[in-house]
Chains A and B, each alone.
Chain A
Amino acid sequence: MNVQNNGTPDAPRLRGTLHATLGAVILALAALAPGLAHSDTIKIGVPVPLSGSSAAAGTDILNGAKLAAAKINAAGGVLGKQIELVPEDDACDAQTAVQAAQKLVDAGVVAVAGGYCSSAALPELSAFHRAGIPYVLDASTNPKLTEMGYNTVFRTIGRDDQQGPFAASFMKNALRARTAAVIDDNTTYSKGLAQNTVDALKKMGVDVVYAESITPGQMDYSPTLTKVASLKPDVIYYTGYFSEAGLLVKEARQLGLKMTIMGGDATNDPTLMKTAGPAADGMIITTSPLAQFLSGAHDYVDQYTKTYGQGPGPYSVYEYDAVGVTAKAIADAKSTKPAAIAAALHKINSYPGLTGTIGFDPKGDRSRAVYITIIVRGDEFEPYQRQDASGKWEMMK
């Protein structure tokens, strides 16, 4: 450190400037508080990751919201007013998420439709709940979110503890597996799905020979796969994300493992096939229906592709429905008071969404969550099997 004239840093003038800067920053932050919005739009908040590694998913969800809002506004809006979407970046991080939620509350949103990472959705939910604003989740599958006892939370997507038993049933009844290995990536979502699946498998009498986590970001999972191979499971189910799934299936085939490999709904991205190449062929994935496989969503897929230059990701259509069902609730309630909107949302039981008929159970979960299995063929996903009303497995057309 340089000692300048007797060690006082620069001159008192600079210290004064620094004092002033500190004060100015505090005031600037205070001034950021937006004034009360006396607008004639109905504001719906969309908290999604717009920076960081989940930015692509967040943007995709926001795009779905934008399409829904555009459609509603083109038809005259709700209660005579236009819908205004207010996106905020939650960066998939709890601290940023809380601040994003608070910002939306201050901005005067009457309802919120969005969310991606469960770790961000939970703190957001607390903030919205405190303000009484209903939150319709489109992609967060963690059961915890609707177990808090809040009456202001809703989901258009299913829960991990519904997907788990679904996957287990598939492995037991469709694949006729006697032994299974379940691998997760030690994150909230993945571990939750894995645990639900393991519990369901055990209940169905399937022997779970391996149930451990891998560390994402590592690239080489051969040692884990070697260990799993030595235990000889009939099927491997990976509940993490598509990036690691691609590596896992490629390395597994390289090691000579022949059993069926499956993935949870976070593996349904084409990067899987690009990474694994021919090794991915035949991999089966449990997922909420993708827009491309929903009979009612063809127009949506076309419109999305035309507007944004690429196909929709897995969650945007659920966001599309989330915004739609929120608008319906506002219309039903004939009010823009958040409490009334929440009450109206609870009353909805047959909203015709693109993802199917939407209704909410008392906890706010989707009463008829549907899952399907899809299979990798070449570099495309194709619909595979689903359960009919009695629980039997049938091929999809």
Chain B
Amino acid sequence: MRAQASRASGRTQTSWLVAIVLLAAAIALPAFASGYVVDVGLTIITYAILGLGLNIVVGYAGLLDLGYAAFFAIGAYTTALLETLLHFSFWATLPFSIVFAGASGVVIGYPTLRLRSDYLAIVTLGFGEITRIVATNLDITGGPNGIYGIEPPSLFGFEISSPHAVYELGMAFFIVVLLFAVRLGRSRLGRAWTSIREDEAAAEAVGVATLRVKMLAYVMGALIGGLAGSLFAARFGTIDPTAFTYLQSVTILIIVVMGGRGSIPGVILGAVIVAGLPELLRFLNLWRIFGFAVALVALMLLRPQGLWPARIRRAAPRPEEEKRAHEAEAAEAQGKESAPAVAIADSGAIDAVAARETLMQVSNLERRFGGVRAIGGISFEVRSGEILALIGPNGAGKTTVFNCLTGVIRPTGGQIRWRGEPLGAGAPHRNVHRGIARTFQGIRLFNHMSAFENVLIGMDHRLHTPFVAELVGTRAARSEAAEHAALGQRWLDLVGIGARASEYASDLPYGDQRRLEIARALASQPRLLLLDEPAAGMNPTEKHALMAQIRRIRDLGVTVLLIEHDMALVMGVSDRIIVMDHGEIIAEGAPAQIQNDPVVIDAYLGTAEEDDGPDATDGEKSLWS
């Protein structure tokens, strides 16, 4: 893996070098090209900036936006109006145009948050059209005439109005946006976006504030769109609503998808082609757009992933971080205190275990689905430090209980208290922040991310450095990121897949995938871990290892609540068992008690006979098919 990493960094170094050379060539373009070429270049730059902005929404976050031109318009009109009505200088209008565009990102993002992706299409389109129509109809925005007489910006007395000068201004904006987009992609927000693209519900369940993250995608995209709008106003000196039509939004979307969604070089290439190609095809006249359309369809059929698709994320811990992780492990094994930041154990949790406090109290919990009573008024407690099992026939309501405890569904009756406070029915990610983590019945990992990154996402909400510091890359931010990474590696080591940190989650064998899910859940340092059928699909050896794992988890101070069907495992590892049937608790107690309880036997254990003991070879014979 070491060799892989250095080869990868070698490749990255070459591509950075090439990028810098191309960038330098682009900056120098006005020196040796005609005014026409510089003009086309400026159009390409404008579209590249717009493409990078939409790429955040569509590429990073996987959301659809067919009305992106609205942000473009808001930025342009803000600069135009502030300059012509209030005589602001161009530079003074920039913060306003960016802020207004960002605010409109909130306005547009908010209603769309709960919509299915295809509905996003029409709603964002609608917003785009509404913005354009309002600009066309109101007198203050100049009506269909738009606004003219926008003064060109000036810098130290030098007026930026010739194509060459505006080009360099555009280049400057482009570089700023490029750096922003790159840093954003590598930040915790970038990881969060990828996670919601992969599996939004799972992301929410591991602590990602999905609604806020989605909103932020629109806002970030809007900021960039607004900046492009200001550039546009400065370039032309006049703006009118015909530059902000639905077709403009479509053009920007084509740039992003044709270039390669989520890929920065792809988007830039897309801008070059979409803005440059029609110019090259001028000789076609009437056939120009037809030719473009044919090329577009052909390209999509031949390369649906885009011309320059994004490299799939493959973050792995850096060598130094691995080293720190191993040092910390060694220290702990020897009983010494490892550097606090890389300590897995939540010291508060260990104390709580010692105190045997009541972690969770469920009173009269009820959940109906229409006329069906999935859970009918159950009450139980979870004490810190115990391993509690929840068993029962299929349809008993066990997963529904989990869903209530994690905030995925709202109970229709009763109350849940967590560490003395009521557990409000807020978004699931809040429950994670309060210390409740879970795994899923069917494994839900972020398949196209590395194991390492899967764990990082579970930990991201614990980062202390503010987001802006992370984007800029302050020393404090970098050092916390390094600690974070080292800790992530330790979690992987704890569950036994440390060596596979940089592999894709989907490439891992089944057992390792289960382990990764547990590591990801543990990474949020919960007080309570809910395991939903962790042994499903495992062979007896793996189940053995799982039992040891569960005990190790408890030793770290994490209370475990698990749903399981494998009786041998349940009996072997649990301190206490709760049995449910038809939405009610029919028995509760120590394993030996439960095994002999006639009610339980009647409802559940039934007639299927099997050897007892944890080394049963027919653990596959599930009691309940």
Q: Do A and B come from one complex?
A: yes
A75 within 8 A of B: no
Q: A7-B312, A26-B26, A33-B37 are in contact. Are A19 and B289 (CB under 8 A)?
A: no
Spot the interface stretch: B27-35, B175-183, B469-477, B574-582.
Answer: B27-35
> Which residue of A19, A26, A34 contacts B18 across the interface (Cβ within 8 Å)?
A19
Q: A7-B504, A187-B144 are in contact. Are A88 and B311 (CB under 8 A)?
A: no
Chain A residues with Cβ under 8 A from B145's Cβ? 142, 144, 188, 191-192
User: Which residues of chain B from 543 to 559 have any CB-CB distance to chain A below 8 Å in the complex?
Assistant: none
B92 within 8 A of A: no
Contact A1 B33 (CB under 8 A): no
For the complex, give the distance between the alpha carbons of A76 and B83 in Å: 51
Chain A minimum-CB-distance residue to B25: A26
B495 within 8 A of A: no
Chain B window 145-189, contacts with chain A (Cβ cutoff 8 Å), 1 for yes, 0 for no: 110100000000000011100000000000000000000000000
Chain B minimum-CB-distance residue to A212: B137
Spot the interface stretch: B39-47, B104-112, B456-464.
Answer: B39-47
Q: A94-B240, A95-B243, A186-B137 are in contact. Are A1 and B286 (CB under 8 A)?
A: no
For the complex, give the distance between the alpha carbons of A157 and B35 in Å: 30
User: Which residues of chain B from 122 to 152 have any CB-CB distance to chain A below 8 Å in the complex?
Assistant: 136-137, 143-146, 148
B308 within 8 A of A: yes
B498 within 8 A of A: no
For the complex, give the distance between the alpha carbons of A169 and B307 in Å: 61
Chain B residues with Cβ under 8 A from A105's Cβ? 35-36
For the complex, give the distance between the alpha carbons of A50 and B283 in Å: 10
User: Which residues of chain A from 72 to 128 have any CB-CB distance to chain B below 8 Å in the complex?
Assistant: 88-89, 93-96, 98-99, 102-103, 105-106, 119, 122-123, 126
Chain B residues with Cβ under 8 A from A395's Cβ? none
Chain B minimum-CB-distance residue to A93: B242
A22 within 8 A of B: yes
Contact B144 A106 (CB under 8 A): no
User: Which residues of chain B from 267 to 284 have any CB-CB distance to chain A below 8 Å in the complex?
Assistant: 268-269, 272-273, 276, 278-280, 282
Contact B137 A50 (CB under 8 A): no
> Which residue of B11, B43, B305 contacts A12 across the interface (Cβ within 8 Å)?
B11
Contact B36 A188 (CB under 8 A): no
B88 within 8 A of A: no
User: Which residues of chain A from 215 to 244 have any CB-CB distance to chain B below 8 Å in the complex?
Assistant: none
User: Which residues of chain A from 14 to 39 have any CB-CB distance to chain B below 8 Å in the complex?
Assistant: 15, 18-19, 21-23, 25-26, 28-30, 32-34
Chain B residues with Cβ under 8 A from A190's Cβ? 144
Q: A22-B269, A29-B276, A102-B163 are in contact. Are A191 and B243 (CB under 8 A)?
A: no
Q: How many residues of B contact A (CB 8 A)?
A: 59
Chain B residues with Cβ under 8 A from A362's Cβ? none
Most buried by B among A19, A55, A96, A142: A19
Main secondary structure of the interface of B (DSSP, over half): helix
Chain B residues with Cβ under 8 A from A99's Cβ? 36, 39-40, 43, 279
Chain A residues with Cβ under 8 A from B37's Cβ? 29-30, 32-33
A306 within 8 A of B: no
Chain A residues with Cβ under 8 A from B305's Cβ? 1-2
Chain A residues with Cβ under 8 A from B137's Cβ? 186, 213
Chain A residues with Cβ under 8 A from B148's Cβ? 122, 144, 148
Q: How many residues of A contact B (CB 8 A)?
A: 53
Q: What's the least CB distance linking B273 to chain A, in Å?
A: 8
Contact A122 B504 (CB under 8 A): no
B465 within 8 A of A: no
A397 within 8 A of B: no
Chain A minimum-CB-distance residue to B143: A191
Contact A106 B36 (CB under 8 A): yes
A52 within 8 A of B: yes
B15 within 8 A of A: yes
A3 within 8 A of B: yes
Chain B residues with Cβ under 8 A from A13's Cβ? none
Q: A3-B506, A51-B285, A122-B148 are in contact. Are A106 and B34 (CB under 8 A)?
A: yes
A8 within 8 A of B: yes
Chain A residues with Cβ under 8 A from B190's Cβ? none
User: Which residues of chain B from 213 to 239 have any CB-CB distance to chain A below 8 Å in the complex?
Assistant: 236-238
Chain B residues with Cβ under 8 A from A33's Cβ? 33-34, 36-37
B22 within 8 A of A: yes
B511 within 8 A of A: no
Q: What's the least CB distance linking B100 to chain A, in Å?
A: 22
Chain A residues with Cβ under 8 A from B444's Cβ? none
Contact B311 A51 (CB under 8 A): no
Contact A98 B309 (CB under 8 A): no
B419 within 8 A of A: no
Contact A23 B43 (CB under 8 A): no
For the complex, give the distance between the alpha carbons of A55 and B289 in Å: 13
Chain B residues with Cβ under 8 A from A50's Cβ? 285-286
Contact A18 B269 (CB under 8 A): yes
Q: A105-B36, A188-B145, A192-B145 are in contact. Are A3 and B312 (CB under 8 A)?
A: yes
Contact B236 A98 (CB under 8 A): yes
Chain B window 91-107, contacts with chain A (Cβ cutoff 8 Å), 1 for yes, 0 for no: 00000000000000000
Q: What's the least CB distance linking B621 to chain A, in Å?
A: 36
> Which residue of B15, B35, B237, B289 contacts A102 across the interface (Cβ within 8 Å)?
B35
B373 within 8 A of A: no
Contact A94 B243 (CB under 8 A): yes
B314 within 8 A of A: yes
For the complex, give the distance between the alpha carbons of A188 and B243 in Å: 13
Chain B window 491-524, contacts with chain A (Cβ cutoff 8 Å), 1 for yes, 0 for no: 0000000000000101100000000000000000
B265 within 8 A of A: yes
Q: What's the least CB distance linking B473 to chain A, in Å?
A: 26
**What is the interface of chain B, defined by CB distance below 8 A to chain A?**
11, 15, 18, 22, 25-26, 29, 32-41, 43, 136-137, 143-146, 148, 161-163, 236-238, 240, 242-243, 265, 268-269, 272-273, 276, 278-280, 282, 285-286, 288-289, 305, 307-309, 311-312, 314, 448, 504, 506-507
6 closest A-B pairs by beta carbon, nearest first, are: A33-B34, A7-B312, A102-B36, A102-B39, A30-B33, A103-B36
Could you list 27 A-B pairs, sorted by A, with CB under 8 Å? Answer: A3-B312, A3-B506, A7-B311, A9-B308, A9-B311, A15-B15, A18-B307, A21-B269, A26-B25, A30-B29, A50-B285, A50-B286, A51-B285, A55-B285, A88-B282, A89-B282, A93-B242, A95-B243, A96-B278, A99-B36, A119-B240, A122-B238, A130-B162, A186-B143, A188-B146, A188-B240, A213-B137
